[in-house]
Structure 1
Amino acid sequence: MQIYLSYPVTDKPFGGANQFFKSLASEFAARNILTYDSIKASVILTNDFFSPPYLTAYDKLLSLKRQRSEIRFIQRMDGVRHVYRGNSEFMWQDEIAAMWADICSDGVVFQSSYCRNIQYEYGYPRHIPTAIIGNACDRDIFHPPVERKAAPDGRVRLIYTSWSSNMLKGFPTLQLLDKTLDFNRYSFTFVGNSPVEFENIRHIPAKPSTELAELLREADIFVGLSHNEPCSNAIGEALACGLPALIRNTGGNPSFVAQGAVLYDRDVDIPAALERMAANLDEHRARLRPLDMEEVAQQYVAFAERLVAETPPRRPDSHKFLALRRKLREHYPELPERRIWRCKLWLDGLWS
């Protein structure tokens, strides 16, 4: 079996999906099942919504599926975009992801039970075979330090990371902590893109994975502040670096409790929770059980093999795809239109 990842990864800081696909590609390559040629693939893995400049992938993948219907498409789904971004303007992207699934997806991977439940609540197709597979990271990069040293000034070192500057990542809480946290007791570093400024919290711009991992290894506690997050790569990276994590009890975050994370419900609960964790850091570190990318990759392989063996391949509905394409052009008018005569040939399978 050969798997093609329809996601253009970059080594630059570019969010959780990029981090995950980069690590998954390395694991698949080590197993000799990764192909960089979609024509040779027996399974193609896509991410929920194809963002620009990758929109041409919709056309290419549909043409490939029509030419080789035996290829199985697996769609890795995040949470509902307009919910975790807190902006109804993103609702059309959720509709596109659901339309693509209805047209082409032979299977879907939800990153947590929360992801599955909220996607179904907002209209994602229920007839597609599913698997729930969490996220993991590259343990060659994200791993505990060889020797953990206390801060020279004796303070407990807190850290939070977020590539996204979405306010629902917890920036109002960061502003509150910037004003109210006892900075004689704690230091706090935020790494990533922030829409707000801080007085006491140290802000470091988004960093590549290797540099980010070094910063995580220098800290004592990860403080996750995001709302309605489906399955945070940032939390997984912190846990892999040996950091106990205090995270908000919303979205898919509670799934990390099994890996050793601690939940809080309200912003006012954070100082007391931090104090309890700081008093028992060694105990919390001993409880950490982060997911391993080798295990996660094997779950993807097992799901793909089950689809190939047990699920009849789907014949994509080209008329539905034209509706998807029209919706895309509402938001990306630069997309080329198909001429009527070409469109008819394309629907009849004579044009690709």
Structure 2
Amino acid sequence: MKVNILFSFKNGPSGGGNHFLSLLHSEYLKMGIYENDPIKSDIVIVNSYHNLIKAAKLKNHYPNIKLVFRLGPIFYYHRGNIWKLMDKFIIALANKIADGIIFQSHWSLAEANKLGFNAQKNWRIVYNTAGQTFYRDDNFIKNHSKIKILAASWSSNKNKGSGYYEYLDKHLDFSKYQMSFIGNSPVKFKNIAILSPLDGKSLAQELKAAEMFIFAAKDDACSNMLIEAMAAGLAVVALNSGGSSELAQFGNCKLFSNEKELLDAIAGLVVSVDHRSGLGTAVTLPTPETVAREYLSVIDQDKKATECSFWLVLKVRFYISLFVLIGKLKFIYG
């Protein structure tokens, strides 16, 4: 069996999808089953809306190749109603040409059902996971006097939690805490330090040097950043939204729904600076190898592969082109 991931990998600072798929790629290389050429592969993993035209053309020319669609985010919640067209299109295309579908959380599945997902397809819920780089050594020593809190987002979208971070900037007790935000923020802070987006190794170092992680993104399917913070042994305070509430099972995590609950959750996790080594807890995340194998197990090897007609390829190409054009016109004319 040979596996390909139909995705353009990036080096340096990047989003959670790139982090996770790079980890998946590494696992398949270790297993000796990764194939760089999708044409020579038995299974090709398609990520969300990326390379849908290529996926359709591949299925049309090589119908025996089986496609696994990785679905999770619902884009119109973050990017506006125009993206609901794309969300529905992704689900409709997966219904037709996917041989197996991975949802990143129960929340993702529930949202896909609202958009017309065909539950008769082979599907499975598989949470993302973190690489060994993010796990903290038990002997890791902190050398700061205040309790160190981190938050992060590569996106400056307001639904990524900027309102809550702005609230903390005004109301957190900075005589007791120090807080840094890593990534791109749409607001300026007075007390919270801002760090530029970091690559995976540097991000891991920052996480392992902290005690607590705040995750305030709304309607997030399965945040890699949240998972990586848990892997690093941080206590986590997360917005009770999207798939984040499901991820709470993997670490020392308190959920919040409003600003008061946010401050109460932070206080509830902290006893004193002297006890900060006990803030985090051992996590029970699935190993990368386990997750990599689960992605393949969604495929029924005895079932005939799906097909993609030439007309469906044209339809995909037309729809994607039309969507891009609408996006450009919306950008120009508002």
Q: Same fold (TM over 0.5)?
A: yes
Aligned to 1:220: 211
Aligned to 2:285: 290
Query: What are the ranges of 5 or more consecutive residues in structure 2 without an aligned counterpart?
Result: 327-334
Aligned to 1:332: 324
Aligned to 2:330: none
Q: Which portions of structure 1, spanning 4 or more consecutive aligned residues, are displaced by more than 4 angstroms?
A: 280-284
Aligned to 2:42: 42
Aligned to 1:168: 159
Alpha-carbon offset, residue 167 of structure 1: 0.7
Could you report, residue by residue, the CA deviation over 1:165-214 in whole angstroms, capped at 9, with x for unpaired residues? 11111001111110111100111010011111111000001011111111
SS of equivalent to 2:304: coil
CA distance in 1, matches of 2:89, 2:5: 19
Q: CA RMSD in A?
A: 1.9
Alpha-carbon offset, residue 293 of structure 1: 1.2
Aligned to 1:144: 136
CA distance 1:208–1:163, shift in 2 (3 Å): same
CA distance in 2, matches of 1:145, 1:158: 19
Aligned to 1:233: 224
CA distance in 1, matches of 2:209, 2:278: 18
Aligned to 1:317: 309
Alpha-carbon offset, residue 40 of structure 1: 1.2
Read off the aligned partner of 1:176 and give its amino acid letter.
Y
Find 2:200's aligned residue among 196, 209, 218: 209
CA distance in 1, matches of 2:142, 2:270: 12
Query: What are the ranges of 5 or more consecutive residues in structure 1 without an aligned counterpart?
Result: 51-56, 335-352
Alpha-carbon offset, residue 327 of structure 1: 1.7
Could you report, residue by residue, the CA deviation over 1:6-28 in whole angstroms, capped at 9, with x for unpaired residues? 01111122211101100100011
Alpha-carbon offset, residue 136 of structure 1: 0.8
Aligned to 2:331: none
Alpha-carbon offset, residue 236 of structure 1: 0.8
SS of equivalent to 2:255: strand
Alpha-carbon offset, residue 282 of structure 1: 4.6
Aligned to 2:29: 29
Alpha-carbon offset, residue 257 of structure 1: 1.9
SS of equivalent to 2:301: helix
Aligned to 1:179: 170
Question: What is the TM-score with the length of structure 1 in the denominator?
Answer: 0.86
Aligned to 1:350: none
Percent identity (aligned)? 24
Alpha-carbon offset, residue 151 of structure 1: 4.3
- Equivalent pairs, count: 322
Aligned to 2:71: 77
Aligned to 1:271: 263
Read off the aligned partner of 1:234 and give its amino acid letter.
M
1:135–1:231 Cα contact (<8 Å) kept: yes
1:44–1:74 Cα contact (<8 Å) kept: yes
Read off the aligned partner of 1:325 and give its amino acid letter.
R
Alpha-carbon offset, residue 66 of structure 1: 2.2
Q: In the alignment, is residue 158 of structure 1 matched against residue 152 of structure 2?
A: no
